[in-house]
Amino acid sequence: MEFCTFKHTARIEVRYAETDQMGIVHHSVYAVWFEQARTEFFREAGASYAQMEAEGFSSPVLELNVQYKSPTHYGDFVDIETTMEKVDRLRVRFHYKAFVDGKLCTTGTTLHCMLKNGRPSRDLPESFNKFEFVKE
Amino acid sequence: MEFCTFKHTARIEVRYAETDQMGIVHHSVYAVWFEQARTEFFREAGASYAQMEAEGFSSPVLELNVQYKSPTHYGDFVDIETTMEKVDRLRVRFHYKAFVDGKLCTTGTTLHCMLKNGRPSRDLPESFNKFEFVKE
Amino acid sequence: MEFCTFKHTARIEVRYAETDQMGIVHHSVYAVWFEQARTEFFREAGASYAQMEAEGFSSPVLELNVQYKSPTHYGDFVDIETTMEKVDRLRVRFHYKAFVDGKLCTTGTTLHCMLKNGRPSRDLPESFNKFEFVKE
Amino acid sequence: MEFCTFKHTARIEVRYAETDQMGIVHHSVYAVWFEQARTEFFREAGASYAQMEAEGFSSPVLELNVQYKSPTHYGDFVDIETTMEKVDRLRVRFHYKAFVDGKLCTTGTTLHCMLKNGRPSRDLPESFNKFEFVKE
């Protein structure tokens, strides 16, 4: 597998609205956090996703996988470590690990294709040139 | 005040994800339910909001007011009674009453303007001709 | 694999709030719809999940997997076909297929354990006796 | 009106999932942001809301009012200025102003009562003693 040499950890505070009546963060929320972690991943790498969209690119999610190991709670700060894998010329997969106080709570992946003006594109956004990939 | 003669009651089942750790529906959810009640209001009157958007109209929310009288819970079916008030040529206000088993739980209003292609418009969607208004 | 003989199809109308700026339903929403489909699955089988919680049972999600084949839109009615697989004495997996106008849009699964008063339990809720399982 | 001498500004980054197909942040999201701003207001004042809940207090929302002046977008950082008004011995009202790049986008208020173990309480959480109020 080819992984990007850049990694990022986003810190997200649990919002009250994200809890459910079990007293824990609802399982659907992690997909929203992962997306926020991707936004920060791009920005920290100097490659704004908002700008990529303005250039006609979009990167819809093809697959989502989440493994819930232990719950997170209102009051927690969740650290989400994000890495990017190049699957092939048309697809990338992001890998996420969510920690609270250093304890791994949740892992997940999202698989994305790259569209330009709504069509599959081998033509990557210019800012992707910033990323280097290495075999792992 | 001029009210539309058409009224509609939408039935919405509380979703687990809509609860919070107080064990009740989170207060932000009612705005989503009110919007779903508006969607049904238009459809039942024969005036699809999706079609209005396709014709270039949009109807953004200018103000939202909600009064929470008693909470709603997972397992509840919530009946939302919706009426439309004509405020002036450019603005309409929707009024909502949410009931569970006939008991009034929540009331609210949303104020909207009408935009055509992103600009304020006195030109209403054709389907609005279906609505009659009476002074109350 | 052992599958429950009971199946259910839930019809869900896309809410405006569920769309994102790509003009499609946001990918995190499907987990919420799947949960609503489970709620209906239990109710239609005569086994209320709200009552199961009242008896001290809960059924947290251990894993979520979603495959997005084609997007859904505001204005769509989404039919979610739900089946339940018995994985072992402690875990069940739900399988979902989401259709719009008969076209398969999204598939997914959720893996659950059964807790009684917060601890893993082999003791199933009484209403689970209603379910029959067959090898497939 | 009696206002708390403490004020706080929370910075919130717009999440992609918070946009809708109009390409702007959905109007229901502001209630979630306001709540996050309250959480930070309490924490910065040394009065954790999570701890208040652990002591048996809760502070449900009785009323929500939002005025939308201009939309916010994915890519924006929203600064929410929060102040607390003492309405009477049983109720407080929070006032919010949301800015993007110094431009006022949205204003709002939430009215809250204070419950102890689910009943109206004149008995405020100990951490409330930290707050001073002045007539304005």
CA-based nearest residue in chain A for residue D35: A16
CA angle A111, A112, A113 (to 5 degrees): 140
As a whole number of angstroms, the longest Cα–Cα distance in chain C is 46
Structure-token pair, residue B104: 């009034």
Distance from C-alpha of A34 to C-alpha of C6, rounded to nearest angstrom: 34
Residue with tokens 């499907």: C30
Distance from C-alpha of A18 to C-alpha of C58, rounded to nearest angstrom: 18
Q: Exposure of C11 by Cβ count < 10 A (0-12 exposed, 13-18 middle, 19+ buried)?
A: exposed
Distance from C-alpha of A11 to C-alpha of B43, rounded to nearest angstrom: 43
Does pLDDT of C123 surpass 80?
Answer: no
Distance from C-alpha of A74 to C-alpha of A17, rounded to nearest angstrom: 9
Q: How confident is the model at residue B129 (pLDDT cuts 50, 70, 90)?
A: confident
A20 is catalytic: yes
Task: Enter the pTM of the model.
Answer: 0.96
Distance from C-alpha of B7 to C-alpha of B82, rounded to nearest angstrom: 6
Distance from C-alpha of B83 to C-alpha of B7, rounded to nearest angstrom: 5
The answer to whether B28 faces chain A, any CB pair under 8 Å, is yes
| Chain C contact set for D24 (CB, 8 A) | 21
Per-residue pLDDT tens over the stretch D82-113: 999 999 988 999 999 999 999 999 999 999 99
CB C89 within 8 A of CB C70: no
Mean pLDDT of the B84-109 span:
96
The answer to whether D28 faces chain C, any CB pair under 8 Å, is yes
Q: How confident is the model at residue D135 (pLDDT cuts 50, 70, 90)?
A: very high
DSSP letter at A22 equals T
Mean pLDDT of the A106-112 span:
98
**Which of A123, A125, A120 lies closest to A55, judged by CA?**
A125
Q: How confident is the model at residue A40 (pLDDT cuts 50, 70, 90)?
A: very high
Taken as a whole, chain A contains a residue count of 136
DSSP letter at D43 equals H
Domains of chain A (ranges plus CATH)?
A: 2-135 (3.10.129.10)
What integer pLDDT is reported at residue C46 of this predicted model?
86
CB-CB under 8 Å, B71 with D22: no
**Which of D77, D127, D125 lies closest to D98, judged by CA?**
D77
What integer pLDDT is reported at residue A120 of this predicted model?
85
The answer to whether B19 faces chain A, any CB pair under 8 Å, is yes
CB B119 within 8 A of CB B109: no
Q: In Å, how far is A36's CA from the nearest CA of chain B?
A: 20
The lowest-confidence range among B14-23, B59-68, D109-118 is D109-118
Per-residue pLDDT tens over the stretch D28-54: 999 999 999 999 999 998 888 888 888
CB-CB under 8 Å, C26 with D17: yes
Q: Cβ of A30: how many Cβ atoms within 10 Å?
A: 28
**End-to-end alpha carbon distance in chain C:** 6
Per-residue pLDDT tens over the stretch A2-20: 999 999 999 999 999 999 9
| Chain D contact set for B22 (CB, 8 A) | 58, 60
Please tell me whether residue B2 adopts helix, strand or coil conformation.
strand
Q: How confident is the model at residue B118 (pLDDT cuts 50, 70, 90)?
A: confident
Residue scoring higher pLDDT (C26 or C51):
C26
Give the neighbor-by-neighbor strand order of the sheet with B119-120: B57-58, B115-116, B119-120
Per-residue pLDDT tens over the stretch D12-25: 999 999 999 999 99
Mean pLDDT of chain A: 93
